[in-house]
Amino acid sequence: MPINTLPAYRIGIRLGLIWLVFLLLMTAYWLRLDSIHKDQLLEAEEHAQLRAKQAAHALSLQMHALLLNIDFVLEHLAEHWLDHDEKVFRKLIDLAQQGVFKGSLDLIAVTDKKGNVLFNSQAQNEYSPHQLSIANRDYFKQLTQQDEHRLFISSPIQNLVTGRWTIQFNYKLIVNGEFAGVIIAAVSAEHLSNAFKTVYPAEDDVVLLTLNNGQYLARTHAQEIALDKKVPSNREFIQFPNKLSGHYSVVAPIDGIERFYAWRRIPDFPVVLSLGLGKNKVLAPALKATQASKRQNLLGSILLTLAALWISRLIFIKAKQNRSLLQSQERFATLLNRVPSGVLLEDENNIIVTVNDNLCALLNLNVTPADLIGLHHQELLNMLQPDCVSWLPEPQFKPKQRQRNEVIDQAGRTLEIDWVPIKHHARFLGHVWFIQNITARKQKEQELLALATTDPLTGLHNRRSFIEFLQEQLNLSQANAPGALLLLDIDHFKHVNDTYGHPAGDLVIQHTAQVIRTSLRQNDFTGRLGGEEFAALLPHTTLPQALQLAERIREHIATTPIITATGTINITISIGVALLYGQDEESVREHADQALYNAKKSGRNCVRAAQYSMDAIST
């Protein structure tokens, strides 16, 4: 049996099984893909470790050569010191500074067998035997032992004056087989780290030099932080002192960067060189390739899933087509009868296809919808009352967009009439008329408009409505047309509220609004700007006329007491007058504000006009 002819539940079961197999295969594919990606990352890590080992070996050879050179220089200096030729000794120091040490040699010092400093390359004068002693230093004590290597490398020391870190290379002087003193060469730690920083400048990578006990000697990055510290004691070269090389992966406590490390001991010296390659940097190409592979496979999986979903959807749609068609017809009939609008559906030849009962009622037709189906639009118009014919004009052309109109019938109802074209691509298939009684909505809109534009306490226009009307009048007016703006402010209104209470204050506001309203002409526009401040727009009014009207308002308010439950209140008002036209809204309000300010400044209970030229006043 074809799947599209099966019952819906049977189709669901079969598609469910197919989807189960599909998801299992998809899961297996992604598990295999994840395994491949992990193998690729593991291989990249192995290559990184190998590269680190090879580079660490090369760097250790370089460091071994440098340490041998330092050892040779100190041995050579020792020979000339024992020859008691100080001039040649100083010349050799200068040559060493320019050669092996490349300007990084801080000082050369020589002691006798008791630790007294006999020579200091930084001193201006020679030291007496007891001026300075290093006899109590650990490295000096170790060098006095007979079995100690002639060259001893001490921990880094920071110069208290310059703040510069140095590493002291201490060379044992032997005369006739006996310990005779020490030559000390203090070399800048930067000299050792700079040799590697040019090769590994990025902070992700690091080269570090330590003693066998883990004490830092040099570090290409964050060296200032590291030189007074040791590496953690769990490092491989500390735990296994007989092991010559190795590798590990760890997060560095100095900078928090995870790296692949390879280390090697420097032959003949108690020094370990370690090279750390930043894990994120090393694995970046492999991770990038892995992410690209995941994105591509995810996109393919999504497309495949979407295709499967689309096929499943098509199967369901085809299986339900007949039943859906019948259900749609029933729903359409129910909707047509329940919709609050009158509906008139016509084909491309203006033949009526569908009508509902509401249309017959709104058009006052004493027929049923079935009587109208099949009629031409003109035949319908012939059945309408004369005043209704203009509501449904037969289009002389086929508009592309919706057409809307509002009419008022003889009963005073407001009807909204929509004409909506029906198209399929570029083909016109007909149109539909919607007729709806919107009388209640119109009334509600008027109520909302009143609420949005009216001050609820006084019934005057609110601030926003007044400002909009002012701007509108300025836009419509001519530059020299007469007009004025009044700004009115109740004097000492806060005292009224504090003395008589806010309910009495509201009565004062209402009384003032009533006086302003009754004092103005029919075409004047009033508003409450907020609190105790009012405004009046006086079109076609000269400045003298505006001043006269403002004075009448002021006098009326000043001579009319307000009787409230808490007592009789006498108030006054200050008024500022500004010319209206020939200015922008901001300029008009600024002039009026300044005039009101002058009225307040003049003692209140007065009218003041903005300052203008005589030509403006006489206009």
CB atoms within 10 A of CB 28: 10
Rounded to whole angstroms, the Cα distance separating 20 from 312 reads 13
pTM above 0.85, yes or no: no
Intervals of the chain under pLDDT 70: 1-9, 123-131, 146-149, 160-162, 322-329, 332-333, 395-400, 477-480, 582, 612-619
Centroid of chain to Cα 428: 48
Closest-CA residue to 211 (of 251, 155, 168)? 155
Residues facing residue 207 across a β-bridge: 275
| Model pLDDT, residue 7 | 64
CATH of 339-441, one of 3.40.50.720, 3.30.750.24, 1.10.1030.10, 3.30.450.20: 3.30.450.20
- The residues carrying an active-site annotation are 532
First to last CA, the chain: 97
| Model pLDDT, residue 323 | 63
Q: Domain 30-295 sits in which CATH superfamily? A: PAS domain (3.30.450.20)
Rounded to whole angstroms, the Cα distance separating 21 from 516 reads 84
Q: Where are the domains of the chain?
A: 30-295, 339-441, 454-618
Q: At what angle do helices 8-82 and 189-197 cross, to 10 degrees?
A: 140
| Model pLDDT, residue 127 | 46
| Model pLDDT, residue 616 | 47
Q: At what angle do helices 493-500 and 502-519 cross, to 10 degrees?
A: 140
| Model pLDDT, residue 327 | 65
| Model pLDDT, residue 442 | 77
Say if 30-295 and 339-441 have the same CATH topology: yes
| Model pLDDT, residue 551 | 95
Q: What single-letter DSSP state applies at residue 5?
A: G
| Model pLDDT, residue 262 | 93
Alpha helices in 454-492 (DSSP H): 463-476
Rounded to whole angstroms, the Cα distance separating 484 from 538 reads 5
Rounded to whole angstroms, the Cα distance separating 64 from 244 reads 14
Amino acid (one-letter) located at 332: F
CB atoms within 10 A of CB 165: 23
Cβ 247 vs Cβ 263: under 8 Å = yes
Closest-CA residue to 432 (of 333, 325, 331, 359)? 359
Q: Domain 454-618 sits in which CATH superfamily? A: Reverse transcriptase/Diguanylate cyclase domain (3.30.70.270)
